Amino acid sequence: MNDIIIRTLQAEDAAPLLQFELENRHWFEQHIAPRPAEFYTPQGVRDHIGQYLDGHANGTWHPCLILDGQGRIVGRANLKDIDRQAGSAEAGYRIARDHTGRGLATRALRHLLALADDQWRLRQVLAYVVDGNPASARVLRKCGFAQEARLPGMDRIAGTLRNGRQFIRLRP
């Protein structure tokens, strides 16, 4: 897995990003709230990318893609709600179903934490996990996060309101 590249999202990523999202839609919706149907169109993804890149330019987002050795998107990782005054942001990631269990989530999260520390100078990074997703909780703990709070009714996944947990990682 040394041929993995993690880089900032670009406007030119629209077509491969749509393909990635469509191929993994069912998988993602088992673990996180679904995106609106209009997202899964060429214009929907272009609009999504435009919003993320505007946020990046404004200093409130850092959207990244995870690419395999052939340049295919195999995951995404983002810092969002970056608040430089408060010194905080939220980290999130999604890995293609056929690439789970290979350490990509850990690599992506470590990449985000390096950005949070070195580029954004953040004091804390938050992350959220719904109950029933122990793999994500393990990744967070491996990367220095600690469970901060239980969140009843955190998100609606596959039509069911699910509890979750908030994790926090303070800058060393």
Q: Provide the residue range defining the domain that includes 119.
A: 5-123
Q: Is residue 164 part of a domain?
A: no
pTM beyond 0.85, yes or no: yes
Encode pLDDT of 47-72 as tens digits: 999 999 999 999 999 999 999 999 99
User: Which CATH number fits the domain that encloses residue 97?
Assistant: 3.40.630.30
Q: Is residue 51 part of a domain?
A: yes
Encode pLDDT of 102-129 as tens digits: 999 999 999 999 999 999 999 999 999 9
Q: Is residue 16 part of a domain?
A: yes
Structural domains of the chain, count:
1
Residue 1: pLDDT band with limits 50, 70, 90: low
Q: Is residue 30 part of a domain?
A: yes
Are 117 and 171 in contact, with CB atoms under 8 Å apart?
yes
The residues near 2 (Cβ < 8 Å, ≥ 6 apart) are: none
Q: Is residue 106 part of a domain?
A: yes
